Amino acid sequence: MIYIGSDHGGFELKQKLIESLKKEGHDLFDEGPFAYDDSDDYPDYAEKVCRKVLETEGKGILICRSGHGMVLTANKFGGIYASLCHSKESAARAKKDENINVLCLPGDFVDFKCANEIVTAWLTTKFDSSEKRMRRLKKLLKIEENNFR
């Protein structure tokens, strides 16, 4: 299951991605907002998506103007590995190398075509579970365990 959320800065892009992902047959759940509201706050939607990702071991997509607010909020949750991606290459690398489970997009800096390519690359790339990658993720987990008590 893919959970998606945005603030007002990513609302339009989120709506387009939802339509595209559903057409491609992905199981998708919209965590809001459901109407444009320029006074909403990105942490509210990042929290909703991240809690669902953790509960279900699903995937998340978060969108705000720069993407920075979403990635900062998402990475406050133990077990969430979020990255801001501007290209399909960066999304594939983030999945292959770090096995990110939350993709953050900058609504002001990518158009729908680019965002769709980024999401597709992230969804279709497999994690490289080689010894080197697993060693690094174990180190991240240890840091997480020490800091998210």
Q: How far is CA 89 from CA 15, 21, 38, 105, 121, in A?
A: 23, 19, 31, 13, 7
Q: Token pair for residue 124? A: 């279709």
User: Is residue 52 within 8 Å of residue 60, measured between CB atoms?
Assistant: yes
Query: Mean pLDDT per 10-residue run, the chain (149 residues)?
Result: 98 98 97 97 98 98 98 96 98 97 98 98 96 94 84
* Continuous segment of H or E residues that includes residue 73: helix 68-74
How many helices (DSSP H) and strands (DSSP E) are in the chain? 6, 5
Q: How far apart are the C-alpha atoms of 26 and 37, rounded to whole Å?
A: 27
Residue 38 is part of a domain; what is its CATH number?
3.40.1400.10
- Entry pTM: 0.96
Q: What is the largest CA-CA distance in the chain?
A: 46
Q: CB neighbours of 37 closer than 8 A, spacing ≥ 6?
A: 8
In angstroms and rounded to an integer, the radius of gyration of the C-alpha atoms of the chain is 15
Q: How far apart are the C-alpha atoms of 101 and 54, rounded to whole Å?
A: 9
Tally of structural domains, the chain: 1
Note the pLDDT of residue 149.
63
Note the pLDDT of residue 147.
85
Range of the domain at 49: 2-147
